[in-house]
Structure 1
């Protein structure tokens, strides 16, 4: 003879969303910490912009952090991300 078993689970939607956002933020931080700098290909990938759009919009902004080593541009990750977030808020 088997006894029917009922299990009820209640999930706090707001708490679940908070935990998910927290985990995503942690994962993004860990992923970004793997990079010290981006090259131009990575910058295009991270911004979802073509090279010509990058140059037309923010590349020549004196606040945009960049270093040329030989013939190649490099962008420090933390500073570039901060700049891009500010730039996007300012962009009209």
Structure 2
């Protein structure tokens, strides 16, 4: 008879490590967001984005031709900071 014992905490550590690798890989694949990505990732409509933070001078953006582009890493950092600045209701 074969008996296998698994250390649940070690399995969890390995799982989290592999998940972090995968998420980092996905993060590194996107260098820029466009307006569709910004809307999708913030779960806000375009009007709300413009009203809440689009015109904040700290918000990283660049218009390339007729399209707005947002550097993914800096945009995420800004959004996290911006969210923490919002008053709790």
Distance in 1, Cα, partners of 2:58 & 2:12: 35
For structure 1, the 5+ residue unaligned runs are none
Distance in 1, Cα, partners of 2:16 & 2:53: 29
Q: CA deviation at 1:6?
A: 4.5
Q: CA deviation at 1:67?
A: 0.2
Relative to the length of structure 2, the TM-score reads 0.82
1:67 to 41, 62, 72: 62
Q: CA deviation at 1:40?
A: 0.3
Give the length in aligned residue pairs.
87
Q: 4+ residue runs of structure 1 moved beyond 6 angstroms?
A: none
Q: Let me know the Cα RMSD of the aligned residues.
A: 1.6
Q: CA deviation at 1:29?
A: 1.3
Q: CA deviation at 1:66?
A: 0.2
Structure 1 or 2, whichever has the larger Rg, is: 1
Structure with greater helix share of residues: 2
Relative to the length of structure 1, the TM-score reads 0.80
- 2:17 match: 22
1:10 to 1, 6, 10: 6
For structure 2, the 5+ residue unaligned runs are none
1:45 to 40, 44, 52: 40
- Per-residue CA deviations over 1:58-80 (Å, capped at 9, x if unaligned) read 21111110001112100001111
